[in-house]
Amino acid sequence: MTANPTPNLFEAYHLRPGVADELFDAAGEMRPVWRRFVDRFARLSPAEVTARFERADQYLRDAGVFFRHYSNEPLSERAWPLSHIPVILHEKEWDTICAGLTQRADLLEAVVADLYGPGKLVSDGHLPAELIAGSKQWLRPMVGATPRGGHYLHVIAFEIGRSPDGGWFVLGDRTNAPSGAGFALENRMATGRIFPERFPRAHIHRLAGYFGAFRAALEQVAQGSGGRERATAILTPGPSNDTYYEHTYIARYLGLPLLEGEDLLVQDAQAMVRTIEGPQPLGVLWRRIDATFADPVELDATSRIGTPGLVEAVRAGNLAMVNALGSGVLEMRAMLAFMPRICQVLTGGPLKLPNIATWWCGGGSERAYVRDNAEHMMIGSAYACDLPFDLGATTALGGAFRGSARASIAEWLEAEGNMLVGQEAVTLSTTPAWVDTGEGQHRIEPRPMTVRVFAARDANGRWIFMKGGYARIGRSGDTTALAMQRGGAVADVWVVGDRPVRQDTLLPRPSRGVRRASPGILPARAADNLFWLGRYVERTEDAIRLIRAYHLRLAATDNTEDARLRLLRHFLEGYGIDLKEPVPSALIDRLEAARACASKVRDRFSTDGWSALGDLAKTARQMHQTAQPGDDSARAMSVLLRKITGFSGLVHENMYRFSGWTFLSFGRALERADALSAVLATFADPGAPTGALDIAIEVGDSVITHQRRYRMERSRDTVVDLLALDGDNPRSLLFQVGRLRTLAADLPYAREKGRLAALSRAIVPVESLLSVASPDDITTERLIEMRGELADVSNLVSQRYLR
Amino acid sequence: MRYDIRLSIDYAYAAPSDHLRNLLRLLPAEIPGRQRVWTRRLTVTPTPEERRDLPDFFGNWMTSVAWHHPVAEAQFELSARVDRLAAPEPLDLSPPLHDLQAEITAEMTLSPAAPHHFLGASPRVTPCSEITAFARAACPRNATAASAVAAIGHALYHRMTFDAEATTVDTPMREAFVNRRGVCQDFTHVMIAALRGIGIPAGYVSGFLRTFPPPGEPRLEGADAMHAWVRAWAGREMGWIEYDPTNDQPAGEDYITVAVGRDYDDVAPVRGALRSAGGADTSQSVDVLPLED
């Protein structure tokens, strides 16, 4: 590193002998592709660097990017581990990599087509039958089924690394349900916050073009050759999956519905989405679930996330799976042992990009070789589908076991050879990483890395590559693949040109008109969750107002046996709320119920709304620990009330008026109408204690209005008039029921055969009654009846739209 | 021998859902040279909206049925007339056990009859060291593959007791082995694990057993419901042989095959998925009557 104007930030960047590096070439010269970035970066003071990196982290936090991990604590979320410094590669080098991977992608397609078709690779001796038959990912029900559209593979991710000689090699192929494309996008958004300047940005290839072409290809396969319109959707295992966030992100980005197994239904070998408008046909599922879980009838019978009959739909050619069910067989480690030979056989030439040297120990000579070279090997399961560095417990590395009871490697290989592979213990290249050295100090150090490259077919079936992607960065300086295990960080990969590159965005597809079917689909389950989200949020708000009313009065009287307090306690007990706790845990349960609903519709729900709901729950939990009865609790409730109305405002002001919003609003209006009926039936009952009417007005948030309209007069009549019959008061029963009628009219099938459908027919009489009634007519009995009528309305919505 | 077979399986669902799909493997197989089907009729009640018959990977007939309205009870009734052709006790043409692996490797095919499917772990039969140790102990030195099958089946019959109360359809194989009790499904799974443990490809056969024995012979266990037994690959020459560990005998003229697979999961008579929770109650009755020619 002689002539380099290496800035101070790179002072500690010491290269290791025998290890390739991304920033410096073998001669110790900085690679030209990094120069522009390093020059700019070097001008930043450490404080500026920290501030910029913090901006990226803040972006990720605000966007709610997280990584779920499976742990004892269910649904715990971990912040996205961004490694702030990108990996930079020149477009020429990238193109060479992609040319090699194109060959590999075609080869993988040929292998999977053969394994589910003629089986020649096995009968000609290029793949051992025993290995394929032993793989859990070789799915017998799919043998002989040709995929809709002709291709088994539509999207592949390759994990590649750079070897000490500077060349690239493949560590593994992800063909089952490759993840990470959405995270690559988020990394890019985050690094945009770090390096917002035109340079180097103008030289970086964008990622959007890849996604645009991929979506167009999906829709083409979905539609097939004419006929009925068929939707494209993403199939997720659901919120407990570790990459669920990515699924919601990519569904939003591509404008595709995000479905779970229970959203689907198979009728006459046609996969359908259950929507609020009834079942709609599906042509393509980009599945993010493991194939074996796709169909409990023909695949794994224990699956709770699958859809019965899905395999039939696939076999009938009515549904394309991206990728085909069973493509995961290509991921098993032992496959890498046979790829070089298969490439020779099928293409007549070698792999353009080698893969990690692998030996299947089912063969005698291979077993002997692995045994004799065990100190340079990673030895593990032949069937494992994870990458070489995700070593399991029963694995040997460098001639030593990691937590196994076996006496010797030789014995292990002899006993279980056909279940094992040896893989060369490769050395990876290093790349700059911003490393915390403790006490807030950082410096740039070399860290090992691998790059994930994403390929997809375009509408013509050709392979296209994401120009960029993401790199996994090791946690320590150790350059054996071991350091790449979980717990590392993730960096953006910049593919950089010598001149500014054309800037693609994910524009709507030209011509062909705008097809609304796919994005417009509202699955019944999503609608159900939005409906209940609306109900739970409103229910929480009502409870907060009642609890506040209680503590305000408690603070004023200090007599817990006050008749009003007793009535409030009794009323809230009916809802399971115990006022002995200043911030009752039942209130927190309601908030959590709302959050659980929201978590299932995150692809349809604004990030701000989600954060607001999270903040609300967090605040309530904190207050639960600290709040004191009386004044303190009343103030706590006021804080919660402001937060929850803030949330409602966000939803009301910002949420697109699609049918999902209608269900959310319907849920709120229904809940509010029910709560008003209940409050009036109790607090405006002729037998209620003095002061109860004030509670009704206060809980109905109509104190000011009441004063303005009726001055100092206050009677049951004025209160019922304002809270039940005044159509101009948004806090009145009539107003809310009127809203239900308007919202119901916006729903599909609002009219059937020229007349109002059952839902509207149930609402209209309630509204009519309230429109013409006088306060005398709205007796306590009538209010109780009305609650029953509103419950019928709720059931009708559920039956018609939400199942 | 000619048989008239009647089977009835009833399901009552606790919480009927809007959609129900079942995959049935109930139709007796046509096996050239061994089993001939004259009639087979499967009646499904209530009549499903969808129904089709199709072969699975192993060549078994599957009947796929679906209802798109709530179904509280379903009934599957089979009536079939089947000939089970008599076959003489085969000569032992199988290789010594230590030569079997070479014959397996030489089978470079993934066809349904290939031994490779039946060696590794399958959904309900995973390698089990205790069972493998039992198999090794039961196997004579220098045994041929076929004699090893008989020896292990015999040993298992003496080790385990038939007990209809001890296990359910979902009891893990190892548990039945350790507790030494179970029904034909358990005997079969344990024997499959035992055979695979010493390198003999082994699979599961579901079918029927003659209900009433010939005069003077005892009634066989497992005749009042669908039965299960083992098939094992005894080398290239001899191919697949069948053994019933529950009754300690080769599966001969008294046995009618419905389906073959790696384990119960591949051949379950009724596979189904009900979206709602609640589960189902099920009952089964079988009659297998020999017809005198």
Return the higher-pLDDT residue of A515 and A363. A363
Q: Do B66 and A267 touch (CB under 8 A)?
A: yes
Mutation for A interface: B20, B22, B23, most A CBs within 10 A: B23
Residue B65 tokens read as 């049925």
Q: Is B92 a member of any domain? A: no
Please name every residue paired with A417 in a beta bridge, in sequence order, or none if there are none: none
Asked if B129 and B175 sit in the same domain, the reply is: yes
How many structural domains is chain B composed of? 2
Residue A314 tokens read as 């696939």
Render pLDDT for A422-463 as a digit per residue (tens, 0 to 9): 999 888 999 999 888 877 788 899 999 999 999 999 999 999
The residues, ordered by sequence, that sit 6+ positions from A213 with a Cβ below 8 Å of its Cβ are A456, A458, A459, A464
**How far apart, in whole angstroms, are the C-alpha atoms of residue A615 and residue B122?**
47
Asked if B65 and B169 sit in the same domain, the reply is: no
DSSP state for residue A374 in the 8-state scheme: G
What residues 3-42 of chain B have any CB closer than 8 A to a CB of chain A? 18-19, 21-23
Dihedral over Cα of A198, A199, A204, A207: its sign: negative
Q: What is the CATH number of the domain that holds B33?
A: 2.60.40.2250
- Most confidently modeled of A377-386, A615-624, B34-43? B34-43
**Phi then psi dihedrals of residue A350, to 5 deg:** -80, 170
Would you state the torsion angle of the CA atoms of residues A376, A379, A383, A388, taken in this order, to the nearest 10 degrees? -50
Which helix (DSSP H) or strand (DSSP E) does residue B284 occupy? strand B280-291
Nearest-by-Cβ selection for B57 from A141, A268, A803: A141
B259 touches chain A (CB under 8 A): no
Residue A481 tokens read as 């693949």
CB B204 within 8 A of CB B189: yes
Q: Is B90 a member of any domain? A: no
Q: How close are the terminal C-alpha atoms of chain A, in Å?
A: 67
Confidence at residue A183, expressed as pLDDT on a 0 to 100 scale? 85
pLDDT at A337 > cutoff 80: yes
Nearest-by-Cβ selection for B116 from A133, A141, A296: A133
- Closest-CA residue to A479 (of A58, A161, A189, A778): A161
DSSP state for residue A675 in the 8-state scheme: H
Contacts of A119 in chain B (CB under 8 A): 109-111
Say how far residue A312 (Cα) sits from the centre of its chain: 28
Q: What is the CATH number of the domain that holds B244?
A: 3.10.620.30
Nearest-by-Cβ selection for A129 from B19, B116, B123: B116
Asked if B18 and B162 sit in the same domain, the reply is: no
Distance set, CA A349 to CA A343, A592, A732, B195 (Å): 7, 59, 78, 43
Residue A284 tokens read as 């393509």
Q: Is B155 a member of any domain? A: yes
Residue A416 tokens read as 């279980």
Confidence at residue B133, expressed as pLDDT on a 0 to 100 scale? 97
Q: Nearest-CA distance from B220 to chain A in Å? A: 31
Rounded to 5°, the CA angle A612-A613-A617 comes to 115
Confidence at residue A437, expressed as pLDDT on a 0 to 100 scale? 82
* Cis bond upstream, residue B172 (ω within 30): no
Asked if B234 and B117 sit in the same domain, the reply is: yes
Q: Do A267 and B23 touch (CB under 8 A)?
A: no
How do A489-496 and B249-250 pair as beta strands?
unpaired
Asked if B132 and B201 sit in the same domain, the reply is: yes
CB A388 within 8 A of CB A359: no
Asked if B262 and B279 sit in the same domain, the reply is: no
**How far apart, in whole angstroms, are the C-alpha atoms of residue A583 and residue A260?**
36
CB A228 within 8 A of CB A256: no
Render pLDDT for A121-171 as a digit per residue (tens, 0 to 9): 999 999 999 999 999 999 999 999 999 989 999 999 999 999 999 999 999
Residues, chain B = 293
* Cis bond upstream, residue A354 (ω within 30): no
Please name every residue paired with B287 in a beta bridge, in sequence order, or none if there are none: B6
Nearest residue in chain A measured CA to CA from B24: A297
Nearest-by-Cβ selection for A119 from B22, B109, B273: B109
pLDDT at A19 > cutoff 50: yes
Query: Helices (DSSP H) in A562-630: which residue ranges?
Result: 563-573, 585-599, 607-626
Q: Do A129 and B109 touch (CB under 8 A)?
A: yes
Render pLDDT for A160-200 as a digit per residue (tens, 0 to 9): 999 999 999 999 999 998 888 888 998 898 898 888 887 67
Return the higher-pLDDT residue of B268 and B279. B268
Q: How close are the terminal C-alpha atoms of chain B, in Å?
A: 8
CB A426 within 8 A of CB A169: yes
Render pLDDT for A233-284 as a digit per residue (tens, 0 to 9): 999 998 878 788 889 889 988 989 999 999 999 999 999 999 998 999 999 9
Render pLDDT for A195-214 as a digit per residue (tens, 0 to 9): 888 767 888 999 989 999 99
Dihedral over Cα of B83, B87, B92, B95: its sign: negative
Asked if B196 and B282 sit in the same domain, the reply is: no
CB A200 within 8 A of CB A494: yes
Q: What is the pTM of this model?
A: 0.88
Confidence at residue A70, expressed as pLDDT on a 0 to 100 scale? 42
**Phi then psi dihedrals of residue A200, to 5 deg:** -90, 5
Residue A495 tokens read as 């593919």
Contacts of A134 in chain B (CB under 8 A): 116, 119-121
Residues, chain A = 803
Percent of residues in chain A assigned helix, strand, coil, to nearest 5: 50, 15, 35
pLDDT at B274 > cutoff 70: no
Asked if B115 and B170 sit in the same domain, the reply is: yes
pLDDT at A4 > cutoff 60: no
Of chain B, the percentage scoring pLDDT greater than 90 comes to 76
* Mean pLDDT within A609-631: 90
Q: Do A125 and B120 touch (CB under 8 A)?
A: no
Would you state the torsion angle of the CA atoms of residues A48, A51, A56, A57, taken in this order, to the nearest 10 degrees? 140
Residue A472: helix, strand or coil by DSSP? strand
Query: Helices (DSSP H) in A90-195: which residue ranges?
Result: 91-115, 120-123, 129-133, 181-194
CB A431 within 8 A of CB A19: no
Of chain A, the percentage scoring pLDDT greater than 70 comes to 92
Q: Nearest-CA distance from A220 to chain B in Å? A: 29
CB A545 within 8 A of CB A698: yes
Asked if B106 and B251 sit in the same domain, the reply is: yes
* Inter-chain Cβ pairs, chain A and chain B, closer than 8 A: 79
Residue whose token pair is 């939803």: A651
Asked if B67 and B153 sit in the same domain, the reply is: no
CB neighbours of residue B249 within 10 Å: 17
Q: Nearest-CA distance from B49 to chain A in Å? A: 9
Q: Nearest-CA distance from A277 to chain B in Å? A: 16
Q: Nearest-CA distance from A356 to chain B in Å? A: 26
> DSSP secondary structure string, B75-86?
EEEEEEEEEE--
Confidence at residue A601, expressed as pLDDT on a 0 to 100 scale? 85
pLDDT tier, B276 (very low <50, low <70, confident <90, very high otherwise) = very low
* Residue B215: domain span: 97-267
Residue A407 tokens read as 């006496």
Query: Helices (DSSP H) in A684-779: which residue ranges?
Result: 692-699, 703-710, 716-720, 733-746, 758-772
The amino acid that residue A275 corresponds to is T
Which helix (DSSP H) or strand (DSSP E) does residue A534 occupy? helix A524-557
Dihedral over Cα of A227, A233, A237, A242: its sign: positive
Mutation for A interface: B24, B67, B100, B110, most A CBs within 10 A: B110
**How far apart, in whole angstroms, are the C-alpha atoms of residue A675 and residue A535?**
11
- Closest-CA residue to B201 (of B158, B139, B251, B261): B261
Nearest-by-Cβ selection for A312 from B64, B268, B271: B64
Please name every residue paired with B181 in a beta bridge, in sequence order, or none if there are none: B161
Burial (CB < 10 A; 0-12, 13-18, 19+), residue A413, is: buried
* Mean pLDDT within A678-694: 94
Render pLDDT for B135-174 as a digit per residue (tens, 0 to 9): 999 999 899 999 999 999 999 999 999 998 888 888 899 9
**How far apart, in whole angstroms, are the C-alpha atoms of residue B197 and residue B193?**
6
Asked if B62 and B109 sit in the same domain, the reply is: no
Nearest residue in chain A measured CA to CA from B22: A297
Mean confidence (pLDDT) of chain A = 88
* Mean pLDDT within A737-760: 92
Asked if the interface predicted TM-score (ipTM) of this complex is over 0.85, the answer is: yes
Render pLDDT for A410-419 as a digit per residue (tens, 0 to 9): 888 988 899 9
Nearest-by-Cβ selection for A297 from B57, B105, B271: B271
CB A458 within 8 A of CB A215: no
Q: Nearest-CA distance from A798 to chain B in Å? A: 14
> DSSP secondary structure string, B228-250?
EEEEEE-HHHH-EEEEETTTTEE
Of chain A, the percentage scoring pLDDT greater than 90 comes to 60
CB A727 within 8 A of CB A602: no
Residue whose token pair is 């490779």: B116
Nearest residue in chain B measured CA to CA from A296: B273
Residue B232 tokens read as 């094992």
Confidence at residue A61, expressed as pLDDT on a 0 to 100 scale? 80
Nearest-by-Cβ selection for B21 from A128, A130, A297: A297
- Closest-CA residue to B7 (of B28, B37, B31): B28
Q: Is B89 a member of any domain? A: no
* Cis bond upstream, residue A323 (ω within 30): yes
* Mean pLDDT within B27-51: 95
Asked if B56 and B187 sit in the same domain, the reply is: no
Q: Is B149 a member of any domain? A: yes
The amino acid that residue A448 corresponds to is P
Helix pair A607-626, A585-599: axis angle to 10 deg: 160
